[in-house]
Structure 1
Amino acid sequence: MSSTDQHTTYFIPDPSPWPIIGMVSLLVTLFGAVLAMNGVVVGKFIVFGGLLLFAYLLFGWFRDVISENLSDKYNAQVDRSFRMGMFWFIASEVFFFLAFFGALFYIRNIALPWLGGEGYLGATKEILYNQFESAWPSHGPGQLGGEFIPMGAWGIPAINTFLLLSSGATITWAHWGLKQDNQKTLVRGLMATIALGLLFVAFQAYEYIHAYEALNLTLQSGVYGSTFYMLTGFHGFHVTMGAIMLMAILGRSMKGHFSAHNHFAFEAVAWYWHFVDVVWLGLFIFVYWF
């Protein structure tokens, strides 16, 4: 592509099946998850099928975008579009988690005191459930779901906080190596970040098993259980997706696809990873600590 073309053309990809495949894979996965949570055995197999389709989506879409990039189809204007797209994607993720944090705040600071008899609506306590105790963590009316032990902040949550903060440092180290055209530092930093991320997910999986078996903390444990698993579960999913993207970036880095002046794919994943770090700090403080 000539310098003139670089300034006068804008790459538009051919029609792609990947958005539709992505929609179908997520629909199948969520449908299976709903069935599984309601005790339908086939739901687990549907979830597995949906995840396989999603893995196929990631492989195919990453392959196409990498091929377009290596064939020099992207110019500076396309690069700016990618940056704007990633910015707005992360902005949407911020509001996604803010909605759940807002729900947690509303439940703890507004709904529970009201149901416990406080405020101008407190008189309705006698109508709804006059034995309700305004305390957090809440079982719900009548200790819905049975007795459980809340998840403490120290132990696995504190270890996971250290792991994610360390992963933020290692990906910054990798970025520094990339800017210096130091291939070894780039690869080592990415490998360390991926290892820390996967270790985080493994610890969280163990935490969930421990919560179900030893603490009786389940999705049925009132509003505390549902908000706990909603917030930490979605965050764990984001860490998993971030680790997968980092693996793709690691493979490209080992093949020498990036240079000090052309590495937005790396930067986009780094932005996403730092966002995941910040969200976890909020979770650790407001879900585990207070």
Structure 2
Amino acid sequence: MKNFFNFKLYMFMQKHSFHLVDLSPWPFLISVSIFSGTVSLLNFFHGYKNDISIIWNFILLSFILFTWWRDLVRESTLGGYHTSLVQKSLRFGMFLFIISEICFFFAFFWAFFHNSLSPSIEVGGIWPPKGILFFNPWFIPLVNTLILLLSGCAVTWAHHAILSGNKNEVLKGLQWTIFLAFLFSFFQYLEYIQAEFRFSDSCYGSIFFLTTGFHGVHVIIGTIFLISCFVRFLNFHFTIEHHFGFESAIWYWHFVDIVWLFLFISIYWWGTLKFA
């Protein structure tokens, strides 16, 4: 009888085919966390150096993301709520998320081309500005480009392996992708510590470190995404027909690859030709 009433309650709550059973508090809580973190950053930028709320907001945001992700995994595996219609909804949501990320990076590329195509008097009328010792694009930037391209091939290898039901090949592909992701982050760190200019060195420094820095953050997020997929695959969460969590990680990683290609061609290579 209890199961019958639970079923009737579920049928009453379900508005449409995309409706999930459990209402989630995480979207509201994560919006509060992000707003609070933004306020903390503004306080930090205005001289409140001892404001530890930034750290607490980061911890809170990480906790919410972890629990939200955990709930989604439980819904897709133990709950069995991710039907074909729900998966279509999730795919559309991931597509819109990547579109929003494209718009995010578009702003940085707009700032770069706006300043490089028509350098202002404040930067000496040339680009890069006079006195900026820019990076050699054929050294670490080229190595990182090759690393990301190889990682894209490796994750595609893993995707084809899961479609063919080859578990060992999936694990090998994911292991190589994760290794190359860490290697990219390491070389990016080496590049930063060798930089001859800083964030405050004209608009060039600001644009360079904002663009490459945010891309590096996305690489770290993508690496965590791939590691979670690796752990989930070891726990038999994915099948040939049902592995959207893995597909979304692949989409995200290819997005990271493409952004870096645009970044390498425009900022590292083309942006230095005018000065050379």
- Structure 2 length-normalised TM: 0.85
Q: Contact 1:170–1:192 (CA<8 Å) still a contact in 2?
A: yes
Matched residues in 1 for 2:139 and 2:44: separation?
A: 30
Alignment of 1:81-96 (within 5 A): 81-96=89-104
Q: Contact 2:18–2:89 (CA<8 Å) still a contact in 1?
A: no
Equivalent position of 1:138 in the other structure: 129
Question: Structure 1 counterpart of 2:266, which letter?
Answer: F
Describe the superposition over 1:43-79 as per-residue Cα deviations: whole angstroms up to 9, x where unpaired: 5x44433332222122101110010001211211111
Equivalent position of 1:264 in the other structure: 244
Equivalent position of 2:228 in the other structure: 248
1:189 and 2:169 equivalent? no
The partner residue of 1:158 within 132, 139, 142 is: 142
Q: Contact 1:35–1:42 (CA<8 Å) still a contact in 2?
A: no
Matched residues in 2 for 1:18 and 1:225: separation?
A: 36
Q: Contact 1:249–1:266 (CA<8 Å) still a contact in 2?
A: yes
Moved over 4 A (4+): 28-40
Describe the superposition over 1:157-210 as per-residue Cα deviations: whole angstroms up to 9, x where unpaired: 111111111110110111111011111111221121111112211221222222
Q: Which has the higher contact order (CA 8 A, sep 6+)?
A: 2
Cα gap change, 1:193/1:34 in structure 2, threshold over 3 Å: closer, same or farther?
farther
Matched residues in 2 for 1:23 and 1:9: separation?
A: 26
The partner residue of 1:198 within 167, 179, 182 is: 182
Gaps of 5+ in 1: 117-128, 140-146
Equivalent position of 1:104 in the other structure: 112
The partner residue of 1:179 within 134, 155, 163 is: 163
Question: Structure 1 counterpart of 2:192, which letter?
Answer: Y
The alignment partner of 2:238 has SS state of coil
- CA shift at 1:40, angstroms? 4.6
1:79 and 2:63 equivalent? no
The alignment partner of 1:42 has SS state of coil
Question: Structure 1 counterpart of 2:212, which letter?
Answer: T
Equivalent position of 2:26 in the other structure: 18
- Structure 1 length-normalised TM: 0.81
Q: Contact 2:162–2:240 (CA<8 Å) still a contact in 1?
A: yes
Describe the superposition over 1:194-236 as per-residue Cα deviations: whole angstroms up to 9, x where unpaired: 111122112212222222xxx1x11110010000011111111
Matched residues in 2 for 1:277 and 1:41: separation?
A: 35
Equivalent position of 2:67 in the other structure: 60
Question: Structure 1 counterpart of 2:127, which letter?
Answer: W
Question: Structure 1 counterpart of 2:267, which letter?
Answer: V
Equivalent position of 1:121 in the other structure: none
Equivalent position of 1:119 in the other structure: none
- How big is the alpha-carbon RMSD for the aligned residues of Structure 1 and Structure 2? 2.3
Structure 1 range deviating more: 22-31 or 200-209: 22-31
Question: Structure 2 counterpart of 1:159, which letter?
Answer: V
Q: Contact 1:153–1:288 (CA<8 Å) still a contact in 2?
A: yes
Question: Structure 2 counterpart of 1:178, which letter?
Answer: I
Aligned identity (percent) is 38
Q: Contact 2:37–2:58 (CA<8 Å) still a contact in 1?
A: yes
Describe the superposition over 1:230-276 as per-residue Cα deviations: whole angstroms up to 9, x where unpaired: 11111111111111111111111011111111111111110110011
Matched residues in 2 for 1:197 and 1:249: separation?
A: 14
Gaps of 5+ in 2: 1-6, 271-276
Matched residues in 1 for 2:27 and 2:265: separation?
A: 36
The alignment partner of 2:194 has SS state of helix
Cα gap change, 1:76/1:244 in structure 2, threshold over 3 Å: closer, same or farther?
same
Q: Contact 2:232–2:238 (CA<8 Å) still a contact in 1?
A: yes
Equivalent position of 2:199 in the other structure: 219
Structure 1 range deviating more: 15-24 or 55-64: 15-24
Q: Contact 1:11–1:73 (CA<8 Å) still a contact in 2?
A: no
Q: Contact 1:167–1:196 (CA<8 Å) still a contact in 2?
A: yes
Matched residues in 2 for 1:161 and 1:34: separation?
A: 34
